[in-house]
Structure 1
């Protein structure tokens, strides 16, 4: 019997795109209890029947996994860059953001928090924001002309050349932009994660996040009205975080003992080589992990290296490593300028713990700024940002983040598995990337290579000379 004849009952098809999001949720949810074909289930649904089902099983019983079958493509415009980083902290989603590397930002296009603008700091905030954009606009043509001299036109496409020059110029002047800069963000989330994201936003201490959360709530109420009943502030977060902060504030820390290394490996799997070999063998046997691990511990180093080599040597640049690499972890404390953070934070398939955006750790000065003799203007922008931040944070520690310039450094704790590090290091060390995050990717690789040289040698890294 031919292959097709043996499987002639198989049906693979796309659901009717005219179904509402709630109907799609119910269509797939019912298959766990009904043997009817999906299209028949869908045909029998009405808005009323879908709402009744979702109220009973999704809302009342909390069977939220089925809500993942409804997806939303949401466009956000004129939201602050600070807000986009909070939104993108929802790891199970897809995000595309307006670039600061390839687009020039307009003067005064920055977010002004009501809490600050209705306070005694309104003038301080406004003057600082305006001044940062003033310096950004003044330095742009200076840097741009220098880039044209260093990269003269060839016979290449003029549009391509202009785009290249703009990108190289923006890479320098973007350090001056405040975190309040308004941007655009495209977001794709399923219904389950949209509800959770909204709940986190309306629980946020930032007014902008609450406003964005309420705008998204209106979209949810229109598209998934029954499931939108689950939108509410998260009491656990609202109570726990302030209580933890109060407790921490009572503990004395030595503020002068602040490390300035960009990348510090603070924790990792000490026996990663054996752990990876054990995981690689595991799928081909029926023995327990412990028994395989004991056997691996008695293997020669050559045997272990051979197994790891076989697992990774045939990878092309587009191949993801085997999932066994996910069992190996590394935790890094990274201190980077906000521009670099903005790109590195997008690697959400890891665990991230963020500190607030501050001026506590100083700022970066691009080499090109020194080379062109405009360091004084640049420093005046940084000083203006810091002075405004220091004044505002006394009464508005959360909102004070908005006026911090991209050049200032911030800390984030990242825990990556080895598989994700293959992706992060290879992508973020490429020559086309911004030097700030290329340096971080290189240093992450170097730290990994110090403790696990055998595992590091299979990672594709482009070293900065």
Structure 2
């Protein structure tokens, strides 16, 4: 066996200087072109890379033929690009970070004292709502500063004071993030963002396309959305009209509800574990497990977990059982929830009827009234401008405002989620959310979910696990 490091991320400034010396070969396209030929060319990968470096235009033609002519789009995944994205709103970030096959690191509002940097979306300017919007944002920032002062005066630790004061900040607050994407996912993101109803995201699509096209022209060919994606908003409106809400429909008011779960999940999981441990067909494994006692089913599941530590993932068989949660979360909470992109996350628009999330520290700091006043001001602006601004009216809402989110995940995903979000280091709102999701999962799958916990609570859970027989 031989392993050769063929490439790695390098700062664009260094690459630009290298291009002046080396020419057009300084492009990730050569890796895509070389690797595309591995399946049909007997030469070594190193030889194929060397040829692609010597003949870049030929490599580009090869990419276009293989990726777009023959449809082997996975070849484009070998080209990876990094982007600094600055001056973008928190609201827009919620959308861009929904793309699964990418890496994002965002400026944290938990740890950084926030300034007055604001993104005024084009819809506000077009509707002549910019002046009242800026006035609202200024008032929200003043409220943020006052809440921070009161929490600090009440002895709340500075980090927690910043974390909870941010609930007053608008979704239009400017932020920045670093993004890494392969060319295939990037083309998809550019296309999807180009069809988005928010002007800020359509502008981002154009900027990403211009930046990428200059470096990987052979791999970004279709930036325009298809009719299928242009129709999303219209189709959703029609879907909503087919089954209109009933007047007086009763809702529980709970923030976490189980919408669906795999029936007889533990027997199914045990059958999948048996499948991987044998050479028997899946149906035969299912029949065998159905014939077992509940104690034997638990034994199969617990055997797969007996050496699990706080940093270990559950076995892949745990992906065969699923849970679907109906969640009500604030924008602050959603900012963290959205990062778990292996789950299926379906967010609704922000909904004033769901109220706002109020940190407990604001009660200790006598600051609840400031939050209530600030969120009421934001809600008034939203109601006054929703008809003319559409989805862009949500820029005026705060981190405290809530939305409903459907969160579908496998039990394996939930193990990962719980290690991060049930830990004491997690932000308080998502920690409470995670704890309730884990409680529900354990009710549905008591053996399989018995080690759900944050890293700090894992030792206690493992001790109880080992004490059971």
Tell whether the 8 Å contact from 1:333 to 1:412 is kept in structure 2 after alignment: yes
Q: Distance in 1 between matches of 2:279 and 2:443?
A: 34
Q: Distance in 2 between matches of 1:138 and 1:26?
A: 57
CA displacement at 1:144 relative to structure 2: 1.9
Distance 1:16 1:84, change over 3 A: closer
Q: Where does residue 89 of structure 1 map in the other structure? A: 98
Q: Which moved more, 1:50-59 or 1:453-462?
A: 453-462
Q: 2:321 aligns with which of 328, 352, 367?
A: 328
Distance 1:284 1:50, change over 3 A: same
Q: 2:2 aligns with which of 2, 5, 11?
A: 11
Q: Distance in 2 between matches of 1:255 and 1:188?
A: 46
Tell whether the 8 Å contact from 2:143 to 2:374 is kept in structure 1 after alignment: yes
Alignment of 1:25-424 (within 5 A): 25-45=32-52, 46-107=55-116, 109-147=117-155, 165-249=157-241, 251-254=243-246, 256-257=248-249, 258-424=251-417
How many pairs does the alignment contain? Answer: 437
CA displacement at 1:256 relative to structure 2: 4.3
Q: Distance in 1 between matches of 2:419 and 2:332?
A: 19
Q: Distance in 2 between matches of 1:128 and 1:371?
A: 26
**Unpaired runs of 5+ in structure 2?**
9-24, 458-469
What TM-score, normalized by structure 2, do the two folds share?
0.90
Q: Distance in 2 between matches of 1:434 and 1:326?
A: 26
| Deviation per residue, 1:231-279 (Å, 9 max, x gap) | 2123211124312313413542036434421100010012111111111
SS of 2:447 mapped into structure 1: helix
Tell whether the 8 Å contact from 2:140 to 2:374 is kept in structure 1 after alignment: yes
| Deviation per residue, 1:424-457 (Å, 9 max, x gap) | 0121011111111111001101111222222221
Q: Where does residue 465 of structure 2 map in the other structure? A: none
Tell whether the 8 Å contact from 1:358 to 1:404 is kept in structure 2 after alignment: no
Tell whether the 8 Å contact from 1:358 to 1:401 is kept in structure 2 after alignment: no
Q: Distance in 2 between matches of 1:358 and 1:402?
A: 13
Q: 1:434 aligns with which of 419, 427, 445?
A: 427
CA displacement at 1:126 relative to structure 2: 1.9
Tell whether the 8 Å contact from 2:127 to 2:388 is kept in structure 1 after alignment: no
Tell whether the 8 Å contact from 2:423 to 2:453 is kept in structure 1 after alignment: no
Q: Where does residue 22 of structure 1 map in the other structure? A: 29
SS of 1:405 mapped into structure 2: coil
Q: Where does residue 20 of structure 2 map in the other structure? A: none
CA displacement at 1:397 relative to structure 2: 2.0
Moved over 4 A (4+): 16-19
Tell whether the 8 Å contact from 1:58 to 1:227 is kept in structure 2 after alignment: yes
CA displacement at 1:19 relative to structure 2: 4.8
Q: Which moved more, 1:241-250 or 1:289-298?
A: 241-250
SS of 1:376 mapped into structure 2: helix
The Cα RMSD (Å) is 1.6
SS of 2:217 mapped into structure 1: coil
CA displacement at 1:340 relative to structure 2: 0.8
Q: Distance in 2 between matches of 1:49 and 1:378?
A: 61
